[in-house]
Amino acid sequence: MGEYTLRCAGCGNLLGDSATSCSLDNGLPRADYIERRFAPRELPGIWSFIDWLPVKRWNPATGASSITYRSSGLAGELDLNRLYISFSGYWPERGAMMRTCSFKELEAAPTMQMLLDNKTEEILVVASAGNTARAFAEVCSITGQPLILFVPASSLDRLWTTVEPGKVLLVGVNGDYADAIKLAGVLSSRVGFRPEGGARNIARRDGMGTVLLDHVRRFNFLPDHYFQAIGSGTGGIAAWEASMRIVADSRFGEHLPRLHLAQNTPCAPVYAMWHGIEEMNFDAYGCPEGMHDDVLFNRNPPYAVPGGVRDAVTSTGGRIYGMDNSRAVSAQKLFESSEGIDILPAAAVAVAALVDAVEAGFVERDDSILLNITGGGMRRLEEDQSRMRLKCDLMVGLEDFSDALSSIEEMVSS
């Protein structure tokens, strides 16, 4: 189950099991799984892909998976013959049971299981603009593991669980997502705390990669194209890595899917770097204020690192799109009316990119296309589930964080 060696995606150097960096270059760590054939197990959710997840065991109470189906509604609107949709969220009529309504659950479950496997007593520290924090809070409340979340004050209203909140300490940050990452980094460098790892967390990436694996399991081929909205771009890297493992198997296709990754302009650092737009002043635009979904804004994405976003998009012959709010709003309405389920604003940016690609001729009518709807079913969830909002335990800023550290440690120890 999930046996692997860890190597640097840049130089190929063999790394220790828990390494998040390489001493020879800045490449991302990548799991090289002993099992080479794609052979899903008879297990629930993402655990069916346990041979390609960095875990030794599985928890039946966690690990809800995305679901994949062939579209008729949106496909008809766009005149596409082979459009497939991966839906991560709550849509019980189709078997989608992610109660936090976000594909971030795909990251949280294997990350927490890997910690349990390693029997570490360190407390996990996570920085998030909302969806990731909600997913980790849900999973940790189920497993009983302790967790500290750093979340911008503007995103605190996005934090809730559908189970009784567990050992979750929520720290509100007077700043943006970059500030939350910075403060989480300070705490996680101290003894007794562990950083979640971001893009360098193989459990996080390989969990997200199950989106592509679910498509292959259901339809027995790799798609020609893969569409997703991104903040850091880690989901795009995950799809690339999963597709490389499938190609190496040789039974489901010989070519990597072209990555079509979308950001919400003008707050789009990855888009700016890909298109060579110099010195984009995101503060001048008030980023992330006013975005269709501010979870897509990350000032420091893993773009140019070996094994990062640039490598992923380049190696697949892909594209990076910039979609403004008006196109995202129109795309959201189009998807919801044609497919019959509500989606999160971030996913609408991916739909907008697909519409753009069709209009520009970047995809053909008979191409096979996988559209990753990274979150949805929030309104549908309200019909079935009650939600318990997480209370903010402490508000901090960059200037007073050193004083707040002792307060956080006291709260944890009590």
Question: What does R_g of the chain's alpha carbons equal in angstroms?
Answer: 20
pLDDT given for residue 401 in this prediction: 84
Q: Which CATH number fits domain 67-101+204-381: 3.40.50.1100, 3.30.465.10, 3.40.50.300, 3.30.1340.10?
A: 3.40.50.1100
Per residue in 288-315, pLDDT (tens digit) is 999 999 999 999 999 999 999 999 999 9
Per residue in 174-230, pLDDT (tens digit) is 988 889 999 999 999 988 999 999 999 999 999 999 999 999 999 999 999 999 999
Pairing mode, strands 225-229 and 258-264:
parallel
- Positive or negative torsion for Cα 394, 399, 403, 406: positive
pTM (two decimals):
0.96
Q: What single-letter amino acid sits at 114?
A: M
Q: Is the pLDDT of residue 403 over 80?
A: no
Name the strand (E) or helix (H) holding 183. Answer: helix 177-188
pLDDT given for residue 203 in this prediction: 96
pLDDT given for residue 174 in this prediction: 92
Averaged pLDDT, 235-247: 98
Q: What single-letter amino acid sits at 316?
A: T
Size of the chain, expressed as the number of residues it contains: 414
Closest CA to 65 of 166, 236, 195, 211: 211
- Determine the Cα–Cα distance for residues 224 and 243; give it in Å rounded to an integer: 11
pLDDT given for residue 1 in this prediction: 67
Q: Is the pLDDT of residue 2 over 90?
A: no
Listed in sequence order, the residues at least 6 apart from 116 whose beta carbon sits closer than 8 Å to its beta carbon are 57, 59, 143, 145
